Structure 1
Amino acid sequence: MLYSIFLLAVGLIVLVSGGEFLVRGASSIALRLRISPLVVGLTIVAFGTSAPELFISVQSALSGSPDLAMGNVVGSNICNLALVLGFTAVIFPVPVQKDSLSIDWPMTIGSSILLFLLVQDYLISPVEGAVFVLILAVYTTLIIVKSRRENHKGKEILEEADLAEQPSKNIWLDVLFIVLGTLGLAFGSDWFVTGAKSLALSFGVSERVIGVTVLALGTSLPELVTASVAAFRKATDIAIGNLMGSNIFNILSILGITSIIQPIAVNQQIVSQDMLWMLAITVLIFPMMLIKRKVSRIEGGILLAVYGYYIYLVVQ
């Protein structure tokens, strides 16, 4: 069991590091090709930060563990809106921007409902995966067009990811980052999934439980750390938008791309239990966002309690 935990921990560290390297290298080369910081922020950085979850889901599906793939995505979405948002709000109330109410939340609940409807046959087919990717492409395009007209959201994402708006001075360093990042994601996902499967066997629990708890929490740690640091600095302005954006990417890009590569069989419990929790928590945060346009400390505490109760039900 100790070896499984070690493999899980090392895999997570390599995964997160690989994602960081990939984002840095790819964003620098994109800027070198004179792609605007706005587009880089809204596409390469957004997709790159979801790369660990993507590699884990693909690895899980290909290795015959679809419950890990689905559990990781659904569990991460629950974790983002209950644990991460709740913990952030407890530290410092999170203000809600207009776009979060008019664009991010409708897209989050819409993609969640679409996923729930499509998995009623307990399978995500390549055609359904292609639909997810197409919707994501249209959504990203519309966001870029809107951001060009109104603000510099892409630059904000670059700043939050601690990335420059100009390319690095050495293109070979960028290439090295991309190579190291890709290798880190490949090996890290393999170790992480292997450790998770071994852990499930050690504890005698299902892969679905490991997916919605251990894998979900592990892949949401970067968001938790980033949001917590922002809260301590009292700079939580785009926290909700980023978390909902992550949820949208999790469903549309990760499940979309994974199911195109390998159809995903869906556990009945994930459909009848975990997805309902995901939908319920997404609905729950809407009145919290709407009232006074902020998520208060009390509401953050409620979200943490909801997440705690959900985990209790899963592991009991």
Structure 2
Amino acid sequence: MNFLLIIAGLVLLILGGNWLLKSAVALSLKLEIPKIVIGMTVVSFATSAPELIVSINAALSGAPDLALGNVIGSNIANLGLVLGITLLLGSMEVQKSFYKTNWPVMMIASAMLYLFLISDKVIVQYEGVILFSFLIIFLVYLLRFQKTAILDELPEDDEPLPLYKIVLFLTIGGLGLWGGSELLIKGATALALEFGVTERVIAVTVVSIGTSIPELAASVVAVLKKEKAISLGNLIGSNVFNILAVLGVTSMITPVAVTDMGLLNNDIFWMLGVSLLILPLVFFPKGMRLNWKDGIVLLAIYGLFIYFTI
């Protein structure tokens, strides 16, 4: 029963995210906002919406480990699982913006999260404001100076929609995300009790893989269609948004405290480690590209993470 709740919640989150994205892009086109701005703001927020809604809902429901574990677990899943599987399907050229902006910003965001948590085991309101402000600075920098570094991230069928359809998609997308997060949190917390594991373990495994499914689906479809494969910058961007937007916004609404020390003693180090590892993988043995061997390394690391966590 709890598994059914989790699956139903994930399906609603994925559909809700998709509808939200469709309506957000259509609204941006209607308002004649440049595509580049849409790609970096609207699309990034829409694809991080499942994590955002789940984390806010979890924190407000008194399950902060689910909120934190979801973000930390999603970041590990994006690089270990999603990137790993994508590389098994085809090699990937890496843009210069990877080591100039994307990777350093991801590492700074990860380090900020670690420092905020290690000091008092809670992310309070002003720390949330700092995280979110850093995101705004990063976006302004990208939009002003890095236009060439931002790949066109829009769905292929970004056709203008009539206003009533935009409102309809926006409404059902929002309701889908909210309903999906409710079911997911209910199922995840009950499952944790049933199996005698902590909410944190469920969050960094089941919930985080679930909220990373949109990225995984997009990656596999892009590779199979032989279109530009989902870029490394895109997955790193998702990790940056998870920390700065999801945890930033959640902690501005309500403080996010660590109750299970496994998050600080184990999970956050896996997140920092896999984020650091991407840099040498990109440069060795062949510069500025990733292939199936790197994919196997990343999947093996993800497998070890799951093994040691469970």
Q: TM-score, normalised by structure 1?
A: 0.93
DSSP 3-state at the match of 1:29: helix
- Counterpart in the other structure of 1:289: 282
> Is the helix fraction higher in 1 or 2?
1
**Residue 150 (structure 2) pairs with residue 157 (structure 1):** no
Is this contact kept in 2: 1:59–1:189, CA < 8 A? yes
Displacement of 1:281 after TM fit? 0.6
The one of 4, 10, 13 equivalent to 1:12 is: 10
Letter in 1 for 2:231: A
Looking at structure 2, the residues matched to 19 and 228 of structure 1 have their Cα atoms a distance apart, in angstroms, of 18
- Counterpart in the other structure of 1:75: 73
Alignment of 1:1-316 (within 5 A): 3-120=1-118, 121-148=120-147, 150=148, 153=150, 156-158=152-154, 161-164=155-158, 167-168=160-161, 170-266=162-258, 267-291=260-284, 292=286, 293-315=288-310
Contiguous gaps of at least 5 residues in structure 2:
none
Looking at structure 2, the residues matched to 300 and 244 of structure 1 have their Cα atoms a distance apart, in angstroms, of 16
Contiguous gaps of at least 5 residues in structure 1:
none
Looking at structure 2, the residues matched to 147 and 104 of structure 1 have their Cα atoms a distance apart, in angstroms, of 11
Q: What's the CA shift string for 1:70-96, capped at 9, x where partnerless?
A: 100000000111111111111211211
Looking at structure 1, the residues matched to 165 and 25 of structure 2 have their Cα atoms a distance apart, in angstroms, of 12
Displacement of 1:238 after TM fit? 4.5
Superposition CA RMSD, Å: 1.4
Displacement of 1:237 after TM fit? 4.7
Looking at structure 1, the residues matched to 191 and 271 of structure 2 have their Cα atoms a distance apart, in angstroms, of 24
Q: What's the CA shift string for 1:109-152, capped at 9, x where partnerless?
A: 1110111011011100010001111010111111111244x36x
Summarize the Cα distance change of 1:83–1:236 in structure 2 as closer, same or farther, 3 Å threshold: farther
Looking at structure 1, the residues matched to 99 and 31 of structure 2 have their Cα atoms a distance apart, in angstroms, of 34
Displacement of 1:233 after TM fit? 3.6
Looking at structure 2, the residues matched to 40 and 32 of structure 1 have their Cα atoms a distance apart, in angstroms, of 12
Is this contact kept in 2: 1:94–1:237, CA < 8 A? yes
Is this contact kept in 2: 1:23–1:48, CA < 8 A? yes
Is this contact kept in 1: 2:55–2:67, CA < 8 A? yes
Q: What's the CA shift string for 1:25-60, capped at 9, x where partnerless?
A: 122122211211111111111101111110000110
Q: TM-score, normalised by structure 2?
A: 0.95
Letter in 2 for 1:96: V
DSSP 3-state at the match of 2:153: helix
Is this contact kept in 2: 1:124–1:259, CA < 8 A? yes
